[in-house]
């Protein structure tokens, strides 16, 4: 029993003590830590492994902090104003048939509504870029996370953005690849998705995206790649444009063979992808097996060749009739519909080039150097300018030869003198009429004139019937060949002020009229080719004048500008007078055609220019040729131009007209 009692005592002494009593002596008196990390009471690796409670708490704190930071950023970041570049558009010029001629400006963009974009092209973009566009919230968290990871790796922050995010980047932000910009893009995209409809966002994206070839937006891209508006893209072409959105420098098939292979592969994938996401049927997909090769032209904004001259004439007309300034036009966004017929413009350019190449030898003849040509065609019935030739190339020769004054018109001015004589008669002058047996004539009284009247040896103007001096030319005969002295005298008898008024009434500009000296009647005035074609068109139009116009409509933001209706017609000449002048011109032009009336510079002219103007009921065309050095405004002599048989270059201008109208 004693032994048993003694056995219990050691167990009582060995009872476990409270934890506080077991703390190491060096740790006694210390307060318990708020965060037990590194973990106390653990050793080795376990000391550094957090508990599940610590993991849960840390995750919760991180999520709370990120959420709080996001809320702060969301509240502090507003939707900024649109970039000026995102709103900037090109001015687009159209041929008379409605097809696009050219777009001009620093930014080649034409903003269009969704209903002016082929639905299949829209589907192709959605399938390629963001198939959940109409269901998502406008952002891609995965894309943002990928951007952060890429930044940590020292790579570009570019990630898989939604269409909304790409629209935000194009419209509101810079193109910098930084995390700050990416976060702003994410936040603004959320706000834009709440503020704007999906269709508004899609429209903005398609109008601001870069497609290569100088094209901003799908409308400019459709013209740059296929020469058609976006509404006319077929599903195959739309898929190719969706492919180049990934990067035109890698997917424009015309750049290289490698590009072509990449573009072909992505084009096929986009068509297949549309089937996968339900935007195209398999039957429709089967129709597009041939790759839609785009045209080779790299940009759609060239002002070379005749295009720059056409744009120059159209801009002048727009500013004159709408009040727009150069600054306003430079801001862009105008759709300018012209009267220019693209086929006739090209025929006119070919005609000039062929004749000059065939008949001039600038390397062998000094006289054939520095030759310039200007030409214009006008429709007499309404004054529409259908074609013009302003020079070899608008990017090399900056003066528009079709719409500039400074080139004397020579004998091509004579029809206006004849018209004035027929319209107003002549003033009987001098005391010698009695001696000539013309006692019934009273000096100072105006008498009627006919086209077949002729000047007698005594200086009097007589009708042809029964008159003496049949070897002297009639006014009609002197109109086309020779007859300078006749028309100097006729202009004086009619009154040079009346001649000037008749020419201006017919369509020439008063500021192009020369001084009223004796030679005024044989063409010292300097009208433009456009105005000469217009004034001759008055003869073709039975004396009714229609002012030239080159623009039919200008549209800005969907609204047509006022002031561009063609001017009203007005009678400039009596119909009988117009017909007599036409008959006189036609008589001298029989070698070209019975239905054509012509006027030209004659070999008697000593002016430094050659002119040829011809018209039918449907077309009036003026062609001029002259010589001028680029650095000297003074006209050079035409002697020897085209060789010894060119009649001072006079034969070249009708050849151009014949080549043009052939």
- Nearest in space to 361 (alpha carbons), one of 351, 352, 371: 371
Q: Is the pLDDT of residue 169 over 50?
A: yes
CATH superfamily placement of domain 104-285: Biosynthetic peptidoglycan transglycosylase-like (1.10.3810.10)
DSSP string, 337-386: EE---HHHHHHHHHHHHHHHHHH--TTT-GGGTTEEEEEEEE-TTT-BEE
Structure tokens at 441: 């004539």
Determine the pLDDT at residue 26.
47
**% residues pLDDT > 70 (the chain):** 77
Residues in a beta bridge with 93: 102, 336
pLDDT at 435 over 50: no
Give the gyration radius of the chain's Cα atoms. Answer: 42
Of 125-139, 348-362, 421-435, 472-486, minimum mean pLDDT range: 421-435
CATH architecture label of 410-661: 3-Layer(aba) Sandwich (3.40)
Q: Is the dihedral of CA 182, 183, 188, 189 positive or negative?
A: positive
Distance between CA atoms of residues 441 and 448, nearest Å = 12
Q: Are 620 and 378 in contact (CB under 8 A)?
A: yes
Helices (H), 177-247: 179-195, 198-208, 218-226, 235-244
So what's the pLDDT on residue 105?
80
pLDDT of residue 494: 95
Domain with CATH 3.40.710.10 in the chain: 410-661
What is the residue whose two structure tokens read 């002599």?
Answer: 637
CA dist list (Å): 12 to 2, 7, 9, 16, 340: 16, 10, 5, 9, 118
Q: pLDDT tens for residues 406-417?
A: 899 999 999 999
E strand map for 381-485 = 385-389, 426-427, 446-447, 454-455, 461-462
- Burial class for 286, CB neighbours closer than 10 Å (0-12, 13-18, 19+): exposed
The Cα 603–Cα 16 span in angstroms is: 137
Match 């995209």 to its residue by tokens: 189
**Helix 342-359 vs helix 652-661: crossing angle, to nearest 10:** 140
Percent of the chain with pLDDT over 90: 53
**What value does the mean pLDDT of the chain take?**
83
DSSP label of 17: P
- Per-residue pLDDT band for 528 (boundaries 50, 70, 90) equals very high
Mean pLDDT of 482-492: 90
Q: Tokens at residue 398, please?
A: 């900056």
Q: pLDDT tens for residues 311-349?
A: 999 999 999 999 898 878 888 899 999 999 999 999 999
Among the listed residues 505, 515, 529, 489, the one whose alpha carbon sits nearest the alpha carbon of residue 614:
529
Confidence category of residue 107, pLDDT binned at 50, 70, 90: confident
Each as own residue / partner, the long-range contacts of residues 196-204 (CB below 8 Å, 24 or more positions apart, any chain) are: 198/133, 198/134, 199/114, 201/138, 201/163, 201/164, 201/167, 202/114, 202/122, 202/126, 202/133, 202/163, 203/113, 203/114, 204/167, 204/170, 204/171
User: Greater confidence, 250 or 30?
Assistant: 250
Listed in order, the ranges of the chain carrying CATH 1.10.3810.10 are: 104-285
Highest mean pLDDT among 26-40, 64-78, 188-202, 538-552: 538-552
């Amino acid at each position: 029993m004693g032994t048993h009692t003694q056995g219990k005592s050691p167990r009582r002494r060995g009872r476990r003590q409270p934890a506080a009593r077991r703390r190491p002596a060096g740790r006694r008196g210390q307060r318990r830590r708020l965060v037990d990390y590194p973990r106390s009471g653990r050793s080795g690796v376990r000391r550094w492994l957090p508990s599940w409670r610590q993991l849960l708490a840390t995750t919760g704190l991180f999520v709370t902090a990120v959420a709080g930071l996001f809320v702060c950023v969301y509240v502090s970041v507003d939707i900024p104003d649109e970039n000026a570049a995102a709103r900037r558009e090109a001015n687009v010029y159209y041929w008379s048939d409605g097809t696009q001629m050219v777009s001009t400006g620093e930014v080649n963009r034409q903003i269009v509504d969704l209903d002016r974009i082929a639905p299949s092209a829209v589907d192709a973009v959605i399938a390629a870029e963001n198939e959940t566009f109409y269901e998502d919230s406008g952002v891609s968290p995965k894309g943002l996370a990928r951007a952060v990871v890429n930044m940590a790796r020292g790579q570009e922050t570019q990630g898989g953005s939604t269409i909304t995010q790409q629209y935000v980047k194009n419209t509101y932000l810079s193109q910098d690849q930084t995390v700050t910009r990416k976060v702003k893009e994410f936040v603004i995209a959320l706000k834009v998705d709440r503020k704007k409809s999906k269709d508004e966002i899609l429209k903005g994206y398609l109008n601001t995206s870069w497609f290569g070839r100088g094209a901003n937006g799908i409308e400019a891209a459709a013209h740059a790649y296929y020469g058609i508006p976006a509404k006319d893209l077929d599903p195959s072409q739309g898929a190719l444009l969706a492919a180049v959105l990934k990067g035109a420098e890698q997917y424009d098939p015309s750049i290289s063979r490698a590009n072509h292979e990449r573009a072909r592969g992505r084009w096929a994938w986009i068509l297949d992808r549309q089937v996968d996401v339900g935007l195209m049927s398999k039957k429709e997909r089967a129709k597009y097996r041939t790759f839609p090769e785009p045209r080779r032209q790299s940009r759609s904004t060239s002002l070379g060749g005749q295009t720059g001259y056409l744009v120059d004439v159209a801009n002048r007309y727009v500013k004159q009739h709408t009040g727009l300034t150069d600054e306003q036009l430079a801001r862009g966004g105008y759709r300018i519909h012209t009267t220019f017929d693209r086929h006739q413009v090209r025929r006119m350019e070919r005609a000039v080039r062929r004749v000059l190449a065939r008949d001039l030898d600038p390397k062998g003849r000094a006289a054939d150097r520095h030759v310039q040509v200007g030409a214009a065609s006008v429709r007499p019935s309404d004054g529409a300018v259908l074609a013009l030739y302003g020079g070899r190339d608008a990017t090399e020769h900056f003066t528009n030869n079709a719409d500039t004054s400074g080139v004397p018109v020579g004998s091509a001015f004579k029809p206006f003198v004849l018209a004035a004589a027929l319209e107003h008669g002549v003033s009987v002058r001098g005391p010698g009429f009695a001696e000539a047996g013309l006692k019934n004539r009273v000096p100072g009284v105006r008498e009627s004139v006919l086209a077949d009247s002729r000047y007698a040896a005594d200086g009097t103007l007589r009708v042809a019937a029964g008159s003496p001096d049949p070897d002297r030319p009639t006014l009609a005969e002197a109109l086309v060949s020779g007859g300078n002295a006749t028309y100097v005298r006729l202009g004086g008898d009619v009154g040079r002020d009346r001649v000037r008024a008749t020419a201006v009434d017919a369509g020439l500009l008063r500021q192009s009229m020369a001084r009223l000296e004796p030679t005024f009647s044989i063409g010292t005035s300097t009208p433009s080719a456009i105005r000469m074609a217009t004034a001759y068109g008055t003869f073709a139009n039975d004396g009714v004048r229609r002012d030239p116009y080159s623009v039919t409509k200008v549209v800005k933001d969907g609204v047509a500008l006022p002031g561009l209706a063609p001017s009203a017609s007005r009678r400039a000449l009596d119909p009988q007078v117009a017909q007599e002048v036409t008959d006189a011109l036609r008589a001298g032009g029989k070698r070209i055609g019975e239905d054509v009336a012509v006027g030209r510079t004659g070999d008697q002219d000593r002016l430094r220019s050659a002119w040829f103007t011809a018209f039918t009921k449907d077309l009036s065309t003026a062609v001029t040729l002259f010589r001028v050095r680029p650095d000297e405004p003074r006209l050079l002599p035409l002697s020897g131009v085209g060789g010894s048989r060119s009649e001072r270059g006079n034969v070249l201008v009708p050849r151009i007209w014949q080549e043009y109208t052939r």
